[in-house]
Amino acid sequence: MQEDRNTPWRSALRQSMKPKERTAIERTKMNELDGDYRSRNSEEVNLGLTEEQAVIEAKRCLDCANPSCMTGCPVGIDIPGFIKNIERGEFLEAAKTLKETSALPAVCGRVCPQEKQCEAQCIYVKMGKQPVAIGFLERFAADYERESGKISLPKMAAKNGRKIGVVGSGPSGLSFAGDMAKLGYDVTVFEALHEIGGVLKYGIPEFRLPNKIVDVEINNLEKMGVKFIKNCIVGKTISFDDLKAEGYEGLFVASGAGLPNFMNIKGENLVGVMSSNEYLTRVNLMHAADDNFDTPIVRGKNVAVIGGGNTAMDSVRTARRLGAKRAMIIYRRSEEEMPARLEEVQHAKEEGVEFMTLHNPIEYIGDEKGHVVAMVLQKMQLGEPDASGRRRPVPIEGAVETIPVDQVIVSVGVSPNPLVPRSIEGLAVSKKGTIEVDADTMQSSIPTIFAGGDIVRGGATVILAMGDGRKAAAAMHNFLQEK
């Protein structure tokens, strides 16, 4: 997808500044709300870059002949292509370049773990410098386009009238739907919940990804002809056979990993202990923190969030915003092994979140009414690396402490949701409950069914889910053309 870097404007741009001058520029800082102020509301923390900041940051990019950043991107975005468009002030062009490969640039610019992907591969890192702020620039271009009101729709192939169904409206389903619509298919997305967007709506909080940004992306897909049906569970409300009978020629299952894991320790079913999915769904999807809505939420004062991933950070930062005096991350490894994005960890700290690393809960203690009042923590130390390559946490014998808590949010991963795989007969499912697919085509054991995202991966990132959607769209298109 890489644009020719030798087009005249780009060559000229490259020569307009010496590499030394470019590398001398300091990496820009994201403008953000003050930590104390924002820990009391749901306003978006990151404010984005100004045009001036973006252009300066774009100048840092050396427009490498072999851009290694692109190898770090799961969907292979033309990174220097969009950045150089920012440098020359063609912000709408930059957004267009992004949208050739990414269905949701405004989302990815906000939630991708860039420091582990594109930015980790940036040439600056090899020079011992801070990488180009690719994520900030991606967000800038996408936001600029949205705010300009001049949102470009991708080139659309002529409609072919062939019906395709998508199960789930999260990042994987949306990117698949966009690509298939572009190819001319008649796409309908079926969503189980009453809102479109999947984890982007029920999971990721407003302060990190405002709903209005997701809605703009959904509106664009609608403009491209994608239909959305809410409150409809394929396999329950309508069967796979019903869809076939209605003329659907292909189905993409992207139903997500919506089954929270628990640790199976004593006291985990006490009142006040809940999954991060429940906590975040109540606040984000059901607006439980808003008094005008009926769904209740308990505002914990001493809140412990178990886990070190992005969902754990989202939960603990939400707890602060709902008035927790003490909001703690309890993580069994050290900070270095934490899977959360660096930025989320930093933001959480700035908002007053306590980090209790190398601690693992082994029991929750309840009062006479069955409400959690304390947790027992086992202190850990790091041992030899395990299968994941991270050093294995080992309990320190006898090092146990009890801490008062009135709310515990368990955020130790999710398993594939069994609803859809269970209801399609003959669909090959792994022992873990993920749908088995061909890694290159995302095609399942039933040739007309493709699958991607967390229902295949068991718990991954927005960008990987989107990548699956794109891969599946290309492969299903090939499959249907040959049919």
Partner 1 sequence: MNRIVEKEYFSANVVKIVIEAPLIAKARRAGHFVIVRVDEKGERIPLTIATSDTEKGTITLVVQKMGVSSTKLCNLNVGDSITDVVGPLGKATHIEKFGTVVCAGGGVGIAPLLPIVEALKKAGNRVITVLAARTKDLVILEKQIAEYSDEVVVMTDDGSYGKKGLVTHGIEEIINREKVDLCVTIGPAIMMKFVALLTKKYDIPTVASLNTIMVDGTGMCGACRITVDGQTKFVCVDGPEFDAHKVDFDEMLIRLGAYREEEMLAMEKFKNNK
* Residue ranges in 228-247 that form contacts with partner 1 under rule CB under 8 A: 230-233, 236-239
Shortest spacing between CB 307 and partner 1, in angstroms: 14
Contact 82, 58 (CB under 8 A): no
356 or 419: whose CB is closer to partner 1? Answer: 419
* Residue ranges in 389-418 that form contacts with partner 1 under rule CB under 8 A: 417-418
Residue of the chain from 101, 281, 434, 448 that contacts partner 1 (CB under 8 A): 281
Q: Should residue 274 be labelled a site residue for partner 1 when binding is judged by CB under 8 A?
A: yes
1 or 271: whose CB is closer to partner 1? Answer: 271
Q: Should residue 202 be labelled a site residue for partner 1 when binding is judged by CB under 8 A?
A: yes
Helices (H) and strands (E) in the chain, counts: 19, 17
Shortest spacing between CB 273 and partner 1, in angstroms: 10
Cα 455 vs. chain centroid, distance in angstroms? 14
Residue of the chain from 100, 115, 215, 268 that contacts partner 1 (CB under 8 A): 268
Q: Should residue 296 be labelled a site residue for partner 1 when binding is judged by CB under 8 A?
A: yes
- Please work out, in degrees rounded to the nearest 5, the angle formed at the alpha carbon of residue 189 by the alpha carbons of 183 and 194: 150
Residue of the chain from 68, 154, 249, 262 that contacts partner 1 (CB under 8 A): 262
262 or 355: whose CB is closer to partner 1? Answer: 262
Shortest spacing between CB 298 and partner 1, in angstroms: 7
- If you write DSSP's letter for every residue of 200-244 in order, what string do you get? HHHTS-TTTS-HHHHHHHHHHHHHTT-EEE-S--BTTTB-HHHHH
Q: Should residue 212 be labelled a site residue for partner 1 when binding is judged by CB under 8 A?
A: no
Shortest spacing between CB 43 and partner 1, in angstroms: 22
286 or 304: whose CB is closer to partner 1? Answer: 286
> Measured between alpha carbons, how far is 226 from 185 in angstroms, rounded to an integer?
9
Find residue 360's DSSP bridge partners: 378
106 or 273: whose CB is closer to partner 1? Answer: 273
27 or 371: whose CB is closer to partner 1? Answer: 371
SS3 15: helix
Please identify, among the stretches 119-127, 246-254, 277-285, 316-324, the one whose residues bind partner 1 according to the rule CB under 8 A.
Answer: 277-285
Structure tokens that stand for 96 in this block: 């267009």
Shortest spacing between CB 275 and partner 1, in angstroms: 4
SS3 95: helix
CA distances 302 to 299, 371, 404, 439, Å, are 9, 13, 7, 44
x-or-dash string of contact with partner 1, 340-379, rule CB under 8 A? -----------------------------xx---------
Q: Should residue 6 be labelled a site residue for partner 1 when binding is judged by CB under 8 A?
A: no
Please identify, among the stretches 98-106, 217-225, 280-288, 312-320, the one whose residues bind partner 1 according to the rule CB under 8 A.
Answer: 280-288
> Measured between alpha carbons, how far is 287 from 284 in angstroms, rounded to an integer?
5
46 or 311: whose CB is closer to partner 1? Answer: 311
Kind and range of the H or E element at 240?
A: helix 240-245
Q: Should residue 259 be labelled a site residue for partner 1 when binding is judged by CB under 8 A?
A: yes
Residue of the chain from 98, 196, 297, 437 that contacts partner 1 (CB under 8 A): 297
Shortest spacing between CB 200 and partner 1, in angstroms: 14
x-or-dash string of contact with partner 1, 180-199, rule CB under 8 A? ------------xxx-----
CB atoms within 10 A of CB 62: 18
Cα 144 vs. chain centroid, distance in angstroms? 21
Structure tokens that stand for 319 in this block: 């707890």
Shortest spacing between CB 418 and partner 1, in angstroms: 6
Find residue 298's DSSP bridge partners: none
Single out the residue of 431, 441, 430 nearest to residue 471, CA to CA.
441
74 or 170: whose CB is closer to partner 1? Answer: 170
> Measured between alpha carbons, how far is 10 from 28 in angstroms, rounded to an integer?
23
Tokens 């703690």 -> residue: 328
CA distances 270 to 372, 373, 437, Å, are 6, 9, 39
Residue of the chain from 277, 284, 310, 378 that contacts partner 1 (CB under 8 A): 277
CA distances 356 to 262, 327, 379, Å, are 19, 10, 10
Residue of the chain from 42, 101, 172, 275 that contacts partner 1 (CB under 8 A): 275
- If you write DSSP's letter for every residue of 443-456 in order, what string do you get? B-SSTTEEE-THHH
Q: Considering Cα of 224, then 172, then 1, then 105, what sign does the dihedral take?
A: positive
Contacts with partner 1 by CB under 8 A: the residue count is 43
Cα 459 vs. chain centroid, distance in angstroms? 10
Kind and range of the H or E element at 326?
A: strand 326-331
Residue of the chain from 15, 66, 292, 388 that contacts partner 1 (CB under 8 A): 292
Give residue 161's region: left, alpha or beta (phi > 0; psi -120 to 50). left
Binding site for partner 1 (CB under 8 A): 192-194, 202, 230-233, 236-239, 258-260, 262, 264, 268-272, 274-275, 277-278, 281-282, 285-287, 292-298, 369-370, 417-419
